[in-house]
Chain A
Amino acid sequence: MTRAGILFTSLVIASPSAMAWTAVTDEQMPIAAKRGNYSLQLPASWLYDLSGSTVLASHDGVALEQINVQLIPHKDAFKAIKRSSSPDMPNEDLAEAYLANLQADGKLADFQIISSDPAEVAGRAGFRVHVRFRLPPAAGDTLMDCTAVGTALPDGLLIAFYRAPRIHFYDKWLPAFDHAVSTLTVSTPSKKT
């Protein structure tokens, strides 16, 4: 079975929703999100899906590695801690709330913050965090690493994260994520809500 076939099969099993996976044929081609005015370039040989509210991409299957980009409405940015974001929120506060929200969600065991730093995201002041956690036993009890970047736009919190099992996969595809983030562009000025 081809890699696309394996990925498709695993996703059909994992999710009841229909997903449409497309192979990246030209890594120079910006891939524009259906929701939100942003685009990015993804590495060649990856597959991506635009059917949901995110840009979701993977090489070997989302359980093994995934890049996920989404524009979250400010009011929904930090639901687990019952907070919202705002366009003028300092990047340090965004990072702090993002990390607290992950922890408060309560689904990530052995949660560790490896780093939290300011970063430029899509040409704006943002943050970059690196966390480690363990998936629940039912999901394989796997130790995962996740790097996320984020910045506040007028119409929402733009988040791009890359997560993969710490062993083998995370280091392998981190440069691909870094490259994708470096191409992240907010294509048109978003309307202020």
Chain B
Amino acid sequence: MRTYTHTKIARRDVFGLVGGLTLGAMFPRPVLALTEEAQRDRLLFETRENEARLAERGFLAGDTRLDAYLQSVMNRLYPENKFSVRAIKDLDANAFAVATGNVYVHTGLLLRVRNEAELAAILGHEGAHVLGDHAYKGIREAKNLGVLVATVPLVGLVAGLTSMAGYSRDLEREADRVGLQRMVAAGYDPTAAAPLFERMAAEIEARKIKQPPYFFADHPKLLERVQNFREFAGGQKTGIVSTDEYHSATHAMQLQSLDLIHERKDGATLICLLADAGRTALFAPSGNFLLGEGYRFRNAPGDAELAIAAYTQSTNERPDFAGAYGARARLRAKQGDNAGALEDLEEFIRLAPDAREASFARQTIDRLRKEINP
């Protein structure tokens, strides 16, 4: 089964779930016979229920500083509205707006955003869905109502809150256009939107993802949206970008998300997220360590050398960063550099005697010592 993130939320699963809850299956004629007001009431009722489940089941990131920052950007884009924004603890690169006017951004998407202007492009787009009443319009197209009662886990809740099949191309285009207008009105650089989508297109290609996150749509639509952003922006490269502010507000969350990807040994994603110039420095010394781990996990020809170089960079950035010594030792031992591996492991144990990997390190030290001095 192909997945597009380590969260294993595969579109096939989503559609399986949605397919079982189609309009015809769940709400046949009675719903279609409802008045518009009753349909709206039902939409709001179901949406609120599913939003409550998101909170109950611990899917919200619950990072008040991060949520406040997201909210401040949303308020700047839509000062006359009261759209609430919250981060969802999930490594998928997605965002969605719901009928109650609330917007949710996955931490996996925030991890791929580089500055506040890119964040504004996402929130502008989602706010436009709310403003344009797209949730209800989607239902009118008989695409969404059936999924409103979708349940566990997150994928089910998201399916229940959004149009997983995506809004129509017209509604998406409208949301992109309105979002970009909002960006310009709020003083953001409108050319910032396209690079985010271009990077996502590159990641989809590099990781051979067949089912991209629905926020970005499928590959042809994604490339079309990049083109749309360029047209809408009209080359007008002025306005706020705010890289430092974005990084400051999201740094802890990004590092936590990178650690989760590391725990899951997802080397390809670590490389996609960290290999660009300057990215590892933002998370020093962990950035280079995690990039090294990405290469070690991927284990393609030449990756061991790239990993060792990244670990070395990490130890140069901070000589007491134990993890980089331990990881470098493993590759050095595999390459037959027993003396180098032993030196690294001894340093690792000196710096982190109680680390989770310490018992393996001690075992390897014993073995290497015997091999070096039989």
B359 lies within 8 A of A106 (CB): no
User: Which B residues touch A90, using CB under 8 A?
Assistant: 330
Interface residues of B in 29-85 (CB under 8 A from A): 57-58
Which of B152, B263, B330 meets A136, CB within 8 Å?
A: B152
With A95-B360, A104-B6, A109-B58 known, 11 other A-B pairs at CB within 8 A are A83-B265, A90-B330, A91-B360, A92-B357, A105-B8, A116-B359, A116-B360, A117-B360, A118-B360, A136-B152, A137-B57
Contact in complex: B360, A104 (CB < 8 Å): no
CA distance A99 to B265 in the complex (A): 9
* Complex contact B356–A115 (CB within 8 A): yes
When the two chains form their complex, are residues A96 and B265 in contact, meaning their CB atoms are under 8 A apart? yes
Give the residue of B152, B265, B330 whose beta carbon is less than 8 angstroms from that of A104: B265
Q: Is the CB of B264 within 8 A of A116?
A: no
Nearest B residue to A137 by beta-carbon distance?
B152
State which size class the interface on A falls in: 20 to 34
Complex A-B: 13 CB contacts under 8 Å? A90-B330, A91-B360, A92-B363, A97-B265, A104-B6, A104-B8, A104-B265, A104-B266, A116-B356, A116-B357, A117-B359, A118-B363, A136-B153
A103 nearest CB neighbor, chain B only: B264
Q: How long is the Cα–Cα vector from A109 to B56 in the complex, in angstroms?
A: 14
Do B330 and A92 touch across chains, with their CB atoms under 8 A apart?
yes
Query: CA–CA, A92 to B345, complex, Å?
Result: 13
User: Interface residues, chain B, CB within 8 Å of chain A?
Assistant: 6-8, 57-58, 152-153, 263-266, 330, 356-357, 359-360, 363-364
A82 CB to closest chain B CB (Å) equals 10
Contact partners of B58 in chain A: CB under 8 A: 109
Bound Cα distance from A116 to B326, whole angstroms = 15
Known: A105-B8, A106-B8, A118-B359. A100 touches B364 (CB 8 A): no
- Bound CA–CA A106/B153 (angstroms): 10
A103 touches B263 (CB 8 A): yes
**Could you tell me the distance in whole angstroms from the C-beta of B169 to the nearest C-beta in chain A?**
31
Contacts of B264 in A (CB 8 A): 81, 100, 103-104
Q: How far is the CA of A77 from the CA of B92 in the complex (A)?
A: 25
Tell me how far the C-beta of B95 lies from the nearest C-beta in chain A, rounded to whole angstroms: 20
* B356 CB contacts on chain A under 8 angstroms: 113, 115-116
Name the B residues within 8 Å of A81 (CB-CB): 264-266
Give bound CA distance, A80 to B7, whole Å.
Answer: 11
Q: How far is the CA of A104 from the CA of B91 in the complex (A)?
A: 12
Q: Give complex CA distance A157, B182 in Å.
A: 56
CB-CB contacts of A4-22 with B at 8 A, as 1s and 0s?
A: 0000000000000000000
